Structure 1
Amino acid sequence: MSNVGDIYMQAEMFVGKDPDGFVRWYCSDYVDLNPRESKTITVDLAWTPWAFSPQLHIVGMRGIPEKLKTDIDAIDEISFCSRYAITNNQFTIDNVSAVGKLEVRETTYGMYEYRNGSEE
């Protein structure tokens, strides 16, 4: 992203929808941009470089290692905004791409295999 305006700004990128008010917050990141400055924003879609398949169902926690932050197959939007802006900001977006590869690991621990939140 590039700040093409004359004042400092924070530019933020959101990936996916926000079904419960928290997922979107976790699937975002921002950069601080001085006037005429450009930086890359990177949004990780999992808490770690790997994810379990199927996903573990753990109640009461969101930031779980090996958990996806959102349903990757259901991502249908990416949005950008000026974070905490009190005046109009001007920015441009260039070269949006998906990069990297997430390692998928089996959902198996010791003698129990977890599927959809139940022990089998």
Structure 2
Amino acid sequence: MFVTPAFAQTAGAAPGGADFLIQFAPFILIFVIMYFLLIRPQQRKAKEHRDMLKNLRRGDVVVMQGGLIGKIVKVVDENELLLDVGDGTAKVQVRVAAGLVQQLRSKGEPVKEGN
């Protein structure tokens, strides 16, 4: 009988190329922003921490994640350190996991060969 306005309108454009990109552009933009603000700096910080752990040697003063501060007496292997946490009068040595070193306070003197 009467043609309603809904039936009288023409059909919209078929879904395709430009509409698809316009719909996903905000998601792509958010991912790019997250990469540069979160992911990339975290990867750089992790790389710096790995390099610091690789270069630890006897005589370095380090801070552990629990707040323990000590001087490295011996690098047992790549995963363990022997730390002197005494105040100079008492010899207190603790064996710790190298991965838990949070900060390198100061580099020690190079060890001379033959000692």
Q: Which has the higher strand share?
A: 1
Q: Which has the higher contact order (CA 8 A, sep 6+)?
A: 1
With normalisation by structure 1, the TM-score equals 0.22
Q: Which has the higher helix share?
A: 2
